[in-house]
Structure 1
Amino acid sequence: MKKLVVLLLVSYFGLASAQDLEIPVKLLSNSKNAPQRYLGTDNFGWTYTIADNEFKKEKDGLKLKYRTLSLGEIYKVDIQNPLQLVLFYRKFNTVVLLDNQLNETKRINFSNLPESLVIEAAGLASQNRLWLYDINTQQLGLFDLGQYSFKTITPPFTDNIKYYQNDYNYFYWIDAANKCFAVNLFGNVSALGIAPAYDQVQIVSSKELIIKKDNALYFYNLEKQTQTPIAIVEKSFQSFHYTAQILSIFTDSEINTYKITLPK
């Protein structure tokens, strides 16, 4: 009898563990959308996309658009502050700042500065500054938008930037060897670990990533080096975006928004 009880308990806990192998999600919304490049959704529910090199924000049927033909392709967009959006046109070495109505408030061509820069990465930092990575010096620094001055804060990087992401206080990057790093506003650099192979990645925290690989999503813990599947239903999708327990999946024809609780 004791052996039977033990066997039943082992079977039960084995089944429970198998069910916990995936991180569950709950569908919150579904919206149809024409094929385009999905950038993310802000805390106010505005969705940001690029189609035919036109930057757009949409919510409840309202659409705002911004396009400039003279700067080429939009390389990167920083949407963390809806009141000060940052569009980076890498080929023309230029950043454009937009307000929440997508009116252009500032345009900076870094080639035209007294000490020109060649920018590989750009994003919004705190105190009216930009994070900039300058290829000339191979250093990361802060650009003061009021003073139009640039100050490097790191030694030269030892490898090229493969992916980068930022918030007001930290700049994160993954280099060509998939090594992950973070630097704060004072130039203190931290090695975070090594990312697995990915097709797309988002840094959730200094310890956590969400990666897309072969049309599947995974939660990756840099410290534990563990990878857990996320239980989405899409068999094929273009991109994803995560913020504040909201996971958005962008396919060829729609955006699906999910509620998700990531492991701690």
Structure 2
Amino acid sequence: MKSLFYFLVLVPFALIAQPRFSVSVSDSLVLEANTFWGADSFGNLYYTKDNVFYKKSGDKTFSFYALSLGAVSSVDLLNPLKITLFYKDFNRAVVLDNQLSEIQRIDFNTNQTYRMVAHCTTSYERNLWVFNVDLQRLELYNYAQDKALVSTQPIADKVKEQLSNYNFCWLLTDKRLIQYNIYGSPVSEFPLENASKLHRFKDSILFVQDGNLFYFDAKFRDLVAISLEKTNFKDFSITNDKLYLYQNNQLTIYNLTFQP
């Protein structure tokens, strides 16, 4: 009988490395929104206002609203052809196409799929990463088959945020950041407190800590501070080498050049 061992790499909180980014303002525009969720690689902007989800594409604006579901809790733009909206208050998710037409609505309250979900993000094909509150575990949920394909061991910490790509999923707790592979096995973790607003960047992560923006390298070996003239912002997003900061109906776009 073969045994399969997974090694969990514990990464100590590294010292802040020397700056490896050059930042310059590219553009600035007015955007009336309650929440700015981000931009895709084509420069399309995504935001919510009065519980309506919008996509601004040049002179065109698309919209989606499900007023019966209340406020949008999170938006995942990993795949602009399959955008995941999560409505935590009603325990439901909606998958939209690139024109914000509804592809799939997932109701986690139904008998077959019932699970109380705290976080929901995109994975590959018809799969979502969901954090099951009742079982305190992360699950790779297939909404076509209506079942969890993969689940992690229970997590004792309080999970604050969740972020994923096609290969990994990260959970940010009040004490640490844990990285899981597609099989639900933990592959790395490191202590991290007072962090928020996780975003994907070059196979790694940007986040906010104490009002400042930080970057972890691809292997989480060091922590890099990103120096910005504008330090006050409500929402931020990163796409390719464009950094978007949103505050008081003003969206400022920066060119972010990474020097490995």
TM-based fold match above 0.5: yes
> Is the contact between residue 182 and residue 206 of structure 1 (CA under 8 Å) also seen in structure 2?
no
2:243 equivalent to 1:247: yes
Q: Normalized per residue, which structure has more strand? A: 2
Q: Hey, what's the Cα distance between the residues in 2 that align with 1:124 and 1:108?
A: 13
Q: Hey, what's the Cα distance between the residues in 2 that align with 1:21 and 1:169?
A: 28
Equivalent positions of 1:89-100 (< 5 A) are 89-100=87-98
- Describe the shift of the 1:166–1:246 C-alpha distance in structure 2 as closer, same or farther (beyond 3 A): same
Equivalent positions of 1:33-182 (< 5 A) are 33-177=31-175, 179-182=176-179
Q: Hey, what's the Cα distance between the residues in 1 that align with 2:196 and 2:147?
A: 36
- Residues 123-167 of structure 1 deviation map (CA, whole Å, 9 limit, x = unaligned): 111132111111121121122122122234211112121121111
Q: Secondary structure at the match of 1:70?
A: helix
Q: Hey, what's the Cα distance between the residues in 2 that align with 1:62 and 1:27?
A: 25
- Describe the shift of the 1:207–1:98 C-alpha distance in structure 2 as closer, same or farther (beyond 3 A): closer
> Is the contact between residue 144 and residue 150 of structure 1 (CA under 8 Å) also seen in structure 2?
yes
User: What is the letter of the counterpart of residue 53 of structure 1?
Assistant: N
User: What's the offset of the Cα at 1:206?
Assistant: 6.9
Q: Normalized per residue, which structure has more helix? A: 1
Query: Which residue of structure 2 aligns with residue 197 of structure 1?
Result: 194
Computing the radius of gyration from Cα coordinates, the structure with the larger value is: 1
User: What's the offset of the Cα at 1:61?
Assistant: 2.1
- Residues 79-114 of structure 1 deviation map (CA, whole Å, 9 limit, x = unaligned): 111111111011111011111111112111111032
User: What is the letter of the counterpart of residue 183 of structure 1?
Assistant: Y
Unaligned runs of 5+ in 1: 1-19
Query: Which residue of structure 1 aligns with residue 253 of structure 2?
Result: 257
User: What is the letter of the counterpart of residue 108 of structure 1?
Assistant: I
User: What is the letter of the counterpart of residue 242 of structure 1?
Assistant: I
Unaligned runs of 5+ in 2: 1-17
Q: Hey, what's the Cα distance between the residues in 1 that align with 2:178 and 2:249?
A: 35
User: What is the letter of the counterpart of residue 262 of structure 1?
Assistant: F
> Is the contact between residue 75 and residue 84 of structure 2 (CA under 8 Å) also seen in structure 1?
yes
> Is the contact between residue 119 and residue 133 of structure 1 (CA under 8 Å) also seen in structure 2?
yes
User: What's the offset of the Cα at 1:28?
Assistant: 2.0
| Aligned partner (choices 228, 237, 240) of residue 233 of structure 2 | 237
User: What is the letter of the counterpart of residue 87 of structure 1?
Assistant: L
Q: TM-score, normalised by structure 1?
A: 0.83
> Is the contact between residue 174 and residue 180 of structure 1 (CA under 8 Å) also seen in structure 2?
yes
Q: Hey, what's the Cα distance between the residues in 2 that align with 1:141 and 1:219?
A: 26
- Describe the shift of the 1:193–1:209 C-alpha distance in structure 2 as closer, same or farther (beyond 3 A): farther
Q: TM-score, normalised by structure 2?
A: 0.84
Alignment RMSD: 2.3
User: What's the offset of the Cα at 1:224?
Assistant: 4.9
> Is the contact between residue 73 and residue 86 of structure 2 (CA under 8 Å) also seen in structure 1?
yes
> Is the contact between residue 139 and residue 152 of structure 1 (CA under 8 Å) also seen in structure 2?
no
Q: Secondary structure at the match of 1:77?
A: strand
2:181 equivalent to 1:184: yes
- Describe the shift of the 1:60–1:153 C-alpha distance in structure 2 as closer, same or farther (beyond 3 A): same
